[in-house]
Amino acid sequence: QKEVEQNSGPLSVPEGAIASLNCTYSDRGSQSFFWYRQYSGKSPELIMFIYSNGDKEDGRFTAQLNKASQYVSLLIRDSQPSDSATYLCAVRRAGGTSYGKLTFGQGTILTVHP
Amino acid sequence: ETGVTQSPTHLIKTRGQQVTLRCSSQSGHNTVSWYQQALGQGPQFIFQYYREEENGRGNFPPRFSGLQFPNYSSELNVNALELDDSALYLCASSFGQGKRAGELFFGEGSRLTVL
């Protein structure tokens, strides 16, 4: 079992729709959860982070965390063609000294078509 | 832009050669992490440097090594290159300790091709 699993997609949604991206993780010691967006040929950029159970909203983005189910999701409302990218889910384990060590999923390719 | 710069952006090497990749951190960040991203995969953690010392390492052999300098810039060295080392190498800087440690700011990467 992979430590962080995502559906690789591609996920295709029409412009204006809600895109739902899902991620599960296996390590119950995971403390922090991140969503990175990566455009083709570019490096990942952080778009959301969540540390507590529940929802966290930032503009058109909502991150949802359910630690009991070991599940993280990202909702993108009013999807735009510019949202077309690979979305990477990443988790960080609690404790330890490897502060910058994230475990990434393989990413979900999202395509928003006009 | 994140303020993290990497060089070179692209390079081609042959099997058995050695390579050095460089990274300048974002101002104020004291932690540098290096990741390898193969095509179609998520980034994989290589190692991290904090206060000039390696303090975490992923599942990579010793031929992957690094340095962090007093100005927080960093190098990744790979010896005895293998074909499977072909990948995008990403440097990321962060604030270090605490929850925000996972908020990584990536450079644009160095794409290494091993022939």
Query: pLDDT digit string (tens) for B62-94?
Result: 999 999 998 889 999 999 999 999 999 999 998
Average pLDDT over residues B16-21: 98
Confidence grade of residue B50 (pLDDT, cut at 50, 70, 90): confident
Q: In sequence order, what are the beta bridge partners of B23?
A: B6, B74
> What pLDDT, on the 0 to 100 scale, is given for residue A96?
64
Residue A2's alpha-carbon distances to A51, B9, B13, B34, in angstroms, are: 21, 30, 31, 21
pLDDT tens-digit series, residues B91-100: 999 876 666 6
Q: Please give the pLDDT value at position B98.
A: 66
pLDDT value at residue B56: 87
Contact B102 A49 (CB under 8 A): yes
pLDDT for res B97: 65
* Residue B13 backbone dihedrals phi, psi, to 5 degrees: -130, 165
Segment-wise mean pLDDT, segments of 10 residues, chain A, 114 residues: 87 97 93 94 94 95 96 97 97 74 94 95
Chain A nearest C-alpha distance from B88 (Å): 9
For position B63, what pLDDT does the model report? 98
User: For position A91, what pLDDT does the model report?
Assistant: 94
HEC string of B56-105 equals EECCCCCCEEEEECCCCCEEEEECCCCHHHCEEEEEEEECCCCHHHHCCE
What is the structure's pLDDT at A2?
80
Residue A98: its pLDDT value, please?
A: 64
- Point out the residue among B33, B107, B108 whose CB comes nearest to the CB of A100: B33
Report the b/e string of B23-58 with b at 16+ CB within 10 A. bbbbeebbbbbbbbbeeebbbbbbbbbbeeeebbeb
- The secondary structure of B84-95, three-state, reads HHCEEEEEEEEC
Residues of A contacting chain B (CB within 8 angstroms)? 4, 31-32, 34, 36, 42-46, 49, 51, 88, 90, 92, 96-107
- Given a contact cutoff of 8 angstroms between Cβ atoms, the answer to whether A61 and A36 are in contact is no
Per-residue confidence band for B31, with pLDDT thresholds at 50, 70 and 90 = confident
Cβ pair A99:B108 closer than 8 A: no
- Say if CB B90 and CB B28 are below 8 A apart: no
Could you tell me which chain A residue has the CA closest to the CA of B111?
Answer: A41
Q: What is the pLDDT of residue A69?
A: 95
CA distance A55 to A57: 7
Contact A102 B94 (CB under 8 A): no
Share of chain B above pLDDT 90, in %: 70
Q: Residue A101's pLDDT is what?
A: 86
pLDDT of residue A72: 97
For B17, the token pair is: 């050669």
Inter-chain touch A46–B104, beta carbons under 8 Å: yes
User: What average pLDDT score do residues B6-27 get?
Assistant: 95
Q: Which residue has the higher pLDDT, B106 or B103?
A: B106
